[in-house]
Amino acid sequence: MRKYKGYIFDMDGVLYRGDTLIPGAVETLEALRRRGSRLVFVSNNSTRSREDYAERIAELGLPIAEEEIIPATYATARYLAERHAEARVFVVGALGLIKELLEAGLRLVAEPERADILVTGSDPAINYQKLSQATALLLAGKPWVTTNLDRLHPAEDRIIPGAGAVVGALQYVTRRAPDVVVGKPSGHIVEQALSKLGLAREECLIVGDIIESDILAGKNAGIDTALVLTGVVGREEVERSEIKPDYVLESITELGE
Amino acid sequence: MRKYKGYIFDMDGVLYRGDTLIPGAVETLEALRRRGSRLVFVSNNSTRSREDYAERIAELGLPIAEEEIIPATYATARYLAERHAEARVFVVGALGLIKELLEAGLRLVAEPERADILVTGSDPAINYQKLSQATALLLAGKPWVTTNLDRLHPAEDRIIPGAGAVVGALQYVTRRAPDVVVGKPSGHIVEQALSKLGLAREECLIVGDIIESDILAGKNAGIDTALVLTGVVGREEVERSEIKPDYVLESITELGE
């Protein structure tokens, strides 16, 4: 396959599954770096800050620096800092998201009536009061930015709701949809990755394991796409899907060959 | 207008608004009773048991007996007792719903993996764990019964999310919809009211203030419908709506004239 100057990697299902590395992942990243390729890593995770994420990546033994990682928490904070730097923000989300928003210099408020904008993400401490406060903001017409729309995430021994639980609740009761989705399949997070790579669109490839997330995000951003079969999707599913990746790879190792 | 043998009343917006009685409501109910009409009162409330509701009705000074009230909590318990008496039930809902389910002899379980059926309602104590447990049940294909789908409710000084917040969250993440809706606009709660009245369908009228809830429920159950303008809907909205009530009344008092 073609050699690209820049690679945007999804992580879970591409580099590791749960706590287990995909065989050859470390060697492939090293081979790509030796070849002079630039790498960046994106994730729809909306509960961990970039620092939290880097710690997990280091524990797994992957040769990735904190500055190369763009989780949806960080991407959302960057998006807001660039476009709504003065906004007072009401957050329904996890500590990792709050840390990134504060780190980006945004002003968070605890009282929804003082907020200019609503930011949502997956929230392990979601409750009726937060949903009521967010509902009030949305009924008052305030803009709504969400880290992502993920419906479900695999956890140790089961499947748990993602940011979609918060989005779904608010969407149902207010009949509004988020105004901005930062994470995949939206192109926003890919744009941030491209800007980090500093390369032209046609020189970059996005590599992921979920068609409706990673591959669609690549298509939305107008870059080449590669699906790996080490994650949640099998070859039959690729054939059934209307969204066709440019490459289908057994595993990330095919990139280094 | 025609005199009916049986009347099914919605309560909020028809008999009272917040803590204030609609002028003439008490006298109208008394006049209908003197005329020999049978009355029953239905509500989509999914947080109060019938007993809780009767207490509130008594405080307002309305001449209504506990046995004449069918809140969605009670209606859901009756529905399950008639069709799933042996089922082990996992509830995401308020204390009022739990009380009715227990009162109906249903077996509630705290562990979702032991449950046969999921029951949802508005839940002031909703949290991530409950949403995760309900998600697991739905992904395992278990049946889903909900008290109602109400999006929003008026509270003292603001509008708060209804059972739709729970339904919306679960629907979004699981891509399933409730298998059974008991409250309005479903016909189930109206069927229970009709069975309580013991009258033929054509002898009964449903009276409510919300087109998509009360009037639609009446149409779904095949009975005559009357919209009162003392609630949330004005005459212009009636004219715009495709759902046409048989009668449009300024207030409940027109029934007693």
| Res. B162 pLDDT band, cuts 50 70 90 | very high
Amino acid A69: pLDDT: 97
Amino acid B36: pLDDT: 96
Percent of chain A with pLDDT over 70: 100
Q: Which stretches does DSSP call E strand in chain A?
A: 6-10, 16-17, 20-21, 38-43, 69-71, 88-92, 107-108, 117-120, 144-146, 152-154, 159-161, 180-181, 204-208, 224-228, 247-249
Above 80 in pLDDT, residue A156?
Answer: no
Q: Is the bond into B124 cis (omega within 30 degrees of 0)?
A: no
Residue type present at position A150: D
A214-233 pLDDT tens trace? 999 999 999 999 999 998 88
Find residue A159's DSSP bridge partners: A154
Amino acid B157: pLDDT: 78
B181-218 pLDDT tens trace? 999 999 999 999 999 999 999 999 999 999 999 999 99
Cβ-based neighbours of A152, under 8 Å, separated by 6 or more: A159, A160, A161, A162, A164, B135, B139, B173, B174
B12 is an active site residue: yes
Optimal mutation site among B173, B181, B212, interface A, most CBs of chain A within 10 A: B173
Give, as one character, the DSSP assignment of residue A155.
-
Query: Chain B residue closest to A164 (CA)?
Result: B173
Amino acid A140: pLDDT: 96
B154 touches chain A (CB under 8 A): no
Amino acid A134: pLDDT: 98
Domain boundary among A153, A181, A209: A181
CA torsion, ordered B9, B11, B13, B16, to nearest 10 deg: 120
d(CA A14, CA A22): 7
Mean pLDDT of A22-36: 96
Q: What is the mean pLDDT of chain B?
A: 95
Amino acid A157: pLDDT: 78
Amino acid A195: pLDDT: 96
Q: What is the mean pLDDT of chain A?
A: 95
Above 90 in pLDDT, residue B153?
Answer: no
Same domain, B35 and B105: no
The partner residue sitting opposite A165, judged by closest CB among B139, B173, B175, is: B173
Q: Which two tokens stand for residue A85?
A: 């730097």
A71 within a domain of the structure (yes/no): no
How many CB atoms within 10 Å of residue B178? Answer: 22
What CATH number is given to the structural domain containing B149?
Answer: 3.40.50.1000
| Res. B227 pLDDT band, cuts 50 70 90 | very high
Above 80 in pLDDT, residue B144?
Answer: yes
User: In 3D, which of A45, A38, A39, A59 has the Cα closest to residue A12?
Assistant: A45
Q: Which two tokens stand for residue A111?
A: 């009282």
| Residue numbers of A annotated as active site | 10, 12
- Chain B environment of A128 (Cβ under 8 Å): 123-126, 161, 165
Mean pLDDT of A32-39: 96
Same domain, A105 and A156: yes
d(CA B40, CA B25): 14
Q: In Å, how far are A240, B176, B198 from A237, measured between CA atoms?
A: 5, 21, 55
Phi/psi at A251 (nearest 5 deg)?
A: -160, 170
Interface ipTM:
0.90
Percent of chain A with pLDDT over 90: 91
B14 within a domain of the structure (yes/no): yes
Amino acid B182: pLDDT: 98
**B181 touches B144 (CB < 8 A):** no
Same domain, B92 and B154: yes
B10 is an active site residue: yes
A63-74 pLDDT tens trace? 999 999 999 999
Optimal mutation site among A123, A128, A133, A148, interface B, most CBs of chain B within 10 A: A128
Give, as one character, the DSSP assignment of residue A42.
E
Same domain, A87 and A176: yes
Q: Which two tokens stand for residue B152?
A: 């929003």
Same domain, A165 and A237: no
B239-253 pLDDT tens trace? 999 999 999 999 999
Query: Chain A residue closest to B129 (CA)?
Result: A124
Mean pLDDT of B115-131: 97
Query: Chain B residue closest to A153 (CA)?
Result: B173
Task: Judge: A161–B127 Cβ closer than 8 Å, yes or no.
Answer: no
Same domain, B171 and B214: no
Mean pLDDT of B71-76: 98
d(CA A228, CA A246): 11
Same domain, A103 and A123: yes
Phi/psi at B212 (nearest 5 deg)?
A: -75, -5
Query: Is this prediction's pTM over 0.95?
Result: no
Amino acid A233: pLDDT: 86
A176-207 pLDDT tens trace? 999 999 999 999 999 999 999 999 999 999 99
How many CB atoms within 10 Å of residue B1? Answer: 12
Above 80 in pLDDT, residue A155?
Answer: no
Above 90 in pLDDT, residue B158?
Answer: no
How many CB atoms within 10 Å of residue B143? Answer: 16
Mean pLDDT of B113-137: 97
Amino acid A1: pLDDT: 87
Amino acid B233: pLDDT: 86
Between β-strands B159-161 and B152-154, what pairing exists: parallel, antiparallel or unpaired?
antiparallel
Same domain, B10 and B85: no
Same domain, A106 and A155: yes
Amino acid B232: pLDDT: 81
Amino acid B159: pLDDT: 87
Domain boundary among A121, A152, A181: A181
Same domain, A134 and A213: no
Range of the domain at A231: 6-44+184-255
Query: Chain B residue closest to A151 (CA)?
Result: B173
Chains A & B: contacts with CB separation below 8 Å: 99
Give, as one character, the DSSP assignment of residue A3.
P
Above 90 in pLDDT, residue A142?
Answer: yes
- CA distance between the termini of chain B: 9
Same domain, A138 and A175: yes
CA distance A30 to chain B (A): 37
B126 touches chain A (CB under 8 A): yes
A196 within a domain of the structure (yes/no): yes
Length of chain B measured in residues: 257
The partner residue sitting opposite A128, judged by closest CB among B125, B168, B172, is: B125
Residues B18-50 as b/e (b if ≥16 CB within 10 A, e otherwise) read eeeebebbbebbeebeeeebbbbbbbbbbbbbb
User: Residue B160: enclosing H or E segment and its boundaries?
Assistant: strand B159-161
A175 touches chain B (CB under 8 A): yes
Decide: helix, strand or coil at residue A146: strand
B1 within a domain of the structure (yes/no): no
Amino acid B155: pLDDT: 75
Above 80 in pLDDT, residue A101?
Answer: yes
Domain boundary among B122, B153, B181: B181
A100 touches chain B (CB under 8 A): no
User: In 3D, which of B69, B62, B2, B6 has the Cα closest to residue B37?
Assistant: B6
Amino acid A196: pLDDT: 97
Amino acid B29: pLDDT: 97
CA distance A217 to chain B (A): 20
| Structural domain count, chain B | 2
Amino acid B132: pLDDT: 97
Same domain, A95 and A135: yes
